[in-house]
Structure 1
Amino acid sequence: MHCKTRSILKMKRTVFVILSLLFISLLKGYSYNASLNSSSDLIGKRAPDFRMKDINGNLISSKDTKGKVIVLNFWFAACKPCIAEIPELNEVYKKYKTDTNVVFASITFDKLDRVNTFLKKHPLRYPVVADAKDICDVFKTTGYPTNIVIDKKGNYFEYITGGYSQIGHQISSSIQNALDNKKPVLNSAAAGSITFDNNSTFKLESGDLILYKDAIVLLSSQNYNIELKKDENDKKYFLLKKKKAILKDGNN
């Protein structure tokens, strides 16, 4: 009898432990997924106020765009996923450029000289805002490219970070839904993004570590590309590689 009672108690303890571990694992899984989809947490929340001028001197501000749908694109010249999505962004702009209820802006921390050189090779139809690290900071943009749609009430409606194979369709759908006062559809961060912040590790080809602010300065020049790497301990870091000089005959 005592043996049977002990067996039952042992079984109950085992079941309790298993259920407890399962509950903890579910909590951990939830936290992990929440961190992956952190951009989705912004949907429906108030977007920050902003004031900026495009490279043609036109003012774009939250004050002057009240009641309109705002479409923002964040990029930089050395970002390959940013370049890849330009044709689709241009198609979106072409579709809505005559709609006075939709405002576009393409924002980069790159300096004006580099932006002008970049646009000659990669024409971008959005109004472009250069040397705008302050605006990138206002929107806390650390992933590139990032595409944001703000609804007519000034709230985040769409927030996509990273290279996205159907970015044009997604942005276009979000614009139309925002114009029609429909509810936003949540999307997780897309693959292919270049995401970094003050806590990221940056290295030069020499192996020297550099600060975040110094990395931004180098990326803002016309001389560096950025690549995501892993060290011998499998820790991620960003490698800033100096571009090779191109000789007049076209050889490196």
Structure 2
Amino acid sequence: MKKLIFLFGLPVFTSLNSFGQNTGFEAQGPPDNSIFPEFSYVTIDGDSVSSTDLKDKIVIVNIWFVGCTGCKQEEPYLRKVTEHYQGDDDIVFLGFCMTKPDRIKRYLEKNGEIGFSNISLTREEVEEKFKVRLSPSHFLIKNGILIAKYTGPITPAGNTLQWYEEMIRNLKN
């Protein structure tokens, strides 16, 4: 019985941690104020994207996977944020999705675009390169420097959505 309580309590535990902090039972991602790991990928739509090309931009990264309950929970809120910044060339929204490209495309066709350019990565690559094991995880990067991170769904509950929106506004200024 104790194991069931512990397992069911995990999502609550991660969603109640303070903003901009590593959440879960282990550190997630590179340290704040460090250079974000370099990358060069092709999106599921065939566009090239690299950290070198984005070093003068604000980059918002969402690490997720199809089937992730917390990822699904935050979709309408992330969609609202990306719609607000649509057409702003200073901000790039990237989804590092731990799912095969054809499955990501089917999912987005069924559920609608969220506003992120999605890149299909393996779990092993995400863990090794970005030090992430829990999803969803979010990184806010400016000029190649990791400014803030959060692991857990971005929603109005617990004020994570408010924190997320404020952080993006502050990065713009």
Q: TM-score range by the shorter chain?
A: 0.7 to 0.9
8 Å Cα contact 1:48-1:138 kept in structure 2: yes
RMSD of equivalent CA atoms:
2.5
Deviations 1:3-47 (A, max 9, x none): xxxxxxxxxxxxxxxxxxxxxxxxxxxxxx999684598211111
Residue 175 (structure 1) aligns with? 168
Alpha-carbon distance between aligned partners in 2 of 1:114 and 1:37, rounded to the nearest angstrom: 29
Deviations 1:147-171 (A, max 9, x none): 110012x111121101243344322
2:151 to 158, 161, 171: 161
Aligned pairs for 1:66-215 within 5 A: 66-123=55-112, 124-133=114-123, 134-135=125-126, 137-152=128-143, 154-166=144-156, 167-180=160-173
Q: Which amino acid aligns with 1:137?
A: E
Alpha-carbon distance between aligned partners in 1 of 2:126 and 2:139, rounded to the nearest angstrom: 13
Secondary structure at the counterpart of residue 71 of structure 1 = strand
| Rg larger for | 1
Unaligned runs of 5+ in 1: 1-32, 181-252
Q: Which amino acid aligns with 2:141?
A: I
Alpha-carbon distance between aligned partners in 2 of 1:131 and 1:38, rounded to the nearest angstrom: 20
Alpha-carbon distance between aligned partners in 2 of 1:91 and 1:126, rounded to the nearest angstrom: 12
Q: 1:126 to 1:69 in 2, by over 3 A?
A: same
Unaligned runs of 5+ in 2: 1-21
Are residue 61 (structure 1) and residue 54 (structure 2) matched?
no
Higher RCO structure, 1 or 2 (CA under 8 Å, sep 6+): 2
User: Post-superposition shift, 1:81?
Assistant: 0.5
Secondary structure at the counterpart of residue 120 of structure 1 = helix
8 Å Cα contact 1:157-1:174 kept in structure 2: no
Q: Which amino acid aligns with 2:149?
A: Y
Alpha-carbon distance between aligned partners in 1 of 2:79 and 2:46, rounded to the nearest angstrom: 21
8 Å Cα contact 1:147-1:159 kept in structure 2: yes
Q: 1:114 to 1:41 in 2, by over 3 A?
A: closer
TM-score normalised per structure 1: 0.53
Alpha-carbon distance between aligned partners in 2 of 1:34 and 1:71, rounded to the nearest angstrom: 18
TM-score normalised per structure 2: 0.75
User: Post-superposition shift, 1:87?
Assistant: 0.7
Alpha-carbon distance between aligned partners in 2 of 1:41 and 1:64, rounded to the nearest angstrom: 20
